[in-house]
Amino acid sequence: MFFDPLYFIVILPAAVLAMWASARTRSAFTKYARVGSRIGLSGAQVARRLLDQYGLREVSIERIGGQLSDHYDPRGRVLRLSHEVHDGTSLSALGVATHELGHALQHAEGYKPLVARQAFAPVAGIASQAWGLLFLGGLLLAAMPLGKVLMVLAVVALSLYVLFALITLPVEYDASNRALALLESSRTLQADEMVGASKVLRAAGLTYVASAAQALSMLVYALIRARD
């Protein structure tokens, strides 16, 4: 598989997109992490204030390690924010913290794409781990009937992962849209500051598009090889 020219032809465009999206996200975050907000509140403080405003006092906020490791845990109802976001007062920190708050709001109102993603996550997790082994087994045993079965199973597993990646897109973009609307309506950020926060969140959104593109391109490659 690693020396198959077709593999690189099919996968390369999505891989380049993923690298570009990741670089752009880190660049935008780093740039606006140097720009302090006028309100002077940290990401955790802004998130707490807005959570309370929407009656979500039961949602807690925790500091975690890593960079851009921020996420909302719907099972524990916890916003987990990296050090730069939890304690930072920059436009990047406030944008990312409010994006994760957007997920908490989605959860509270039963936003259907989020509900679907939560329900599908365990299956997608198994599928993402299994498809590669099934695909490799299919290649190694291509001359045998079992090889064809394994290849079909690999395509099915990969299709499930692609579906999860596609479900994730509206969830993430909606959270960013909510974040920007909240930052503006609550007057947490002024109009000129909103530009920076928007660039950070829009760049981050591209990483999910790139991830879905990678999954789709891999599925295309698997389908081609499954027909051989």
Q: Which residues are catalytic?
A: 100
- 60 - beta bridge partners? 78
Nearby residues of 47 by Cβ (< 8 Å), 6 or more positions away:
61, 79, 81, 97, 98, 100, 101
Are the C-beta atoms of residues 181 and 202 closer than 8 Å to each other? no
What angle do helix axes 145-185 and 91-109 make, rounded to 10 degrees? 110
Are the C-beta atoms of residues 59 and 16 closer than 8 Å to each other? no
Nearby residues of 29 by Cβ (< 8 Å), 6 or more positions away:
68, 92, 96, 200, 203, 204
Tell me which residue of 213, 222, 196 sits closest to 22, measured CA to CA.
213
Are the C-beta atoms of residues 179 and 99 closer than 8 Å to each other? yes
Q: How many angstroms from the chain centroid is the CA of residue 225?
A: 29
Q: How many C-beta atoms lie closer than 10 Å to residue 73's C-beta? A: 16
